[in-house]
Structure 1
Amino acid sequence: MNVDSWEPKIVSFFCNWCTYGAADLAGVSRFQHPPNTRVIRVPCSGRVSPKFILAAFMNGADGVWVSGCHPGDCHYIEGNLYARRRFTLLKNQMEYMGLEPGRLHFSWISSAEASKYIEVITEVIDAVRALGPNTRFVKPQAKVA
């Protein structure tokens, strides 16, 4: 793999009510942003299990971004607060698994904040790009004869 042409693959788990709406608004508004993310729409950021995040890393993601409603604005009352606690613990445990904690990002973005979405997506991609490819769970390639 050529390091100069490498681009990070980011798996993003977006709350249906807020961040997904911001991403949609950014697209409809034709805001320019890097195409490095693969978005998974979830009902609430509180629904995202640490197993989903680890599965993303094990299947080749270079970074994971979870984003939901602002505290106090969750459509499911406290789902985003549960998510914040869960991911704080997961981020602390990632070092023991051999993953840099900087590969996991968490944010709050309302559906009306398309410009903030663009700022955060750029920050996440730049942070993961600085860390380089995720080599922790990469399976060795078979040699071609």
Structure 2
Amino acid sequence: MNKKEEVKEFEPKILAFTCNWSSYSSADQAGISRTSYPPNVQIIRVMCSGRVDPLYVVDAFLNGADGVLIAACHPNYCRYNGGNRYAESRVKFLKMLMEEIGVEPTRLRIEWISALEGRRFVEVVQEMVDELRKLGALLEKNDWRESV
């Protein structure tokens, strides 16, 4: 008797660092309004996106994340006077490093999402899930840890 093996679609793991004052509330708003989004995302609340140390991002990838999202306040609306712009410059730097070691820079994203944009949060997460499904698993696809 032949058994058909089901091919399970790859489900990426995304770690999202969300600003306490904006994007964390947008994720909460999505839940309150019963707007569902993929369960692929694990949310970590930070006081400001500018507090996301680049080592946190590297650690996320080393420990199995296929993608990292930094969700920040819109420009000029940071409660901490430019923390979001600081996060943006860190992301640009990290993307250059990722490209240098052979990791797709699209695995790391920064997005401006305000507290009232629950739907936008859902759209960004869905876009990331779709993109990462196309790329495949980070640790299986690349042997990039050798070059770190």
Give the distance between the partners of 1:60 and 1:138, measured in 2 at CA: 13
TM-score (norm. length: structure 1): 0.89
1:131 equivalent to 2:131? Answer no
Equivalent residue letter for 2:10: W
Mapping of residues 7-86 of structure 1, within 5 Å: 7-86=11-90
Following superposition, the deviation at residue 89 of structure 1 comes to: 1.2
Give the distance between the partners of 1:61 and 1:40, measured in 2 at CA: 13
Equivalent residue letter for 1:63: G
Give the distance between the partners of 1:9 and 1:101, measured in 2 at CA: 16
The answer on whether the counterparts of 1:8 and 1:128 sit within 8 Å (CA) in structure 2 is yes
Q: Evaluate the alpha carbon distance shift between residue 36 and residue 55 of structure 1 in structure 2; reply closer, same or farther with a 3 A threshold.
A: same
The answer on whether the counterparts of 1:58 and 1:137 sit within 8 Å (CA) in structure 2 is no
Task: Give the secondary-structure state (helix, strand or coil) at the position aligned to 1:70.
Answer: coil
Unaligned runs of 5+ in 1: 140-145
The answer on whether the counterparts of 2:30 and 2:119 sit within 8 Å (CA) in structure 1 is yes
The residue that corresponds to 1:111 in the other structure is: 115
Give the distance between the partners of 1:137 and 1:13, measured in 2 at CA: 25
1:108-134 deviations in whole A, cap 9, x for unaligned?
000001111111111111111111001
The structure where helix makes up a greater share of residues is 2
Task: Give the secondary-structure state (helix, strand or coil) at the position aligned to 1:34.
Answer: coil
Q: How many residues align?
A: 138
1:87 equivalent to 2:91? Answer yes
Equivalent residue letter for 1:97: I
Equivalent residue letter for 1:21: S
Following superposition, the deviation at residue 32 of structure 1 comes to: 1.5
Give the distance between the partners of 1:36 and 1:137, measured in 2 at CA: 23
Following superposition, the deviation at residue 137 of structure 1 comes to: 6.3
Percent of aligned pairs sharing the same letter: 48
1:38-73 deviations in whole A, cap 9, x for unaligned?
111000000001100000000011110001100000
The answer on whether the counterparts of 2:26 and 2:115 sit within 8 Å (CA) in structure 1 is yes
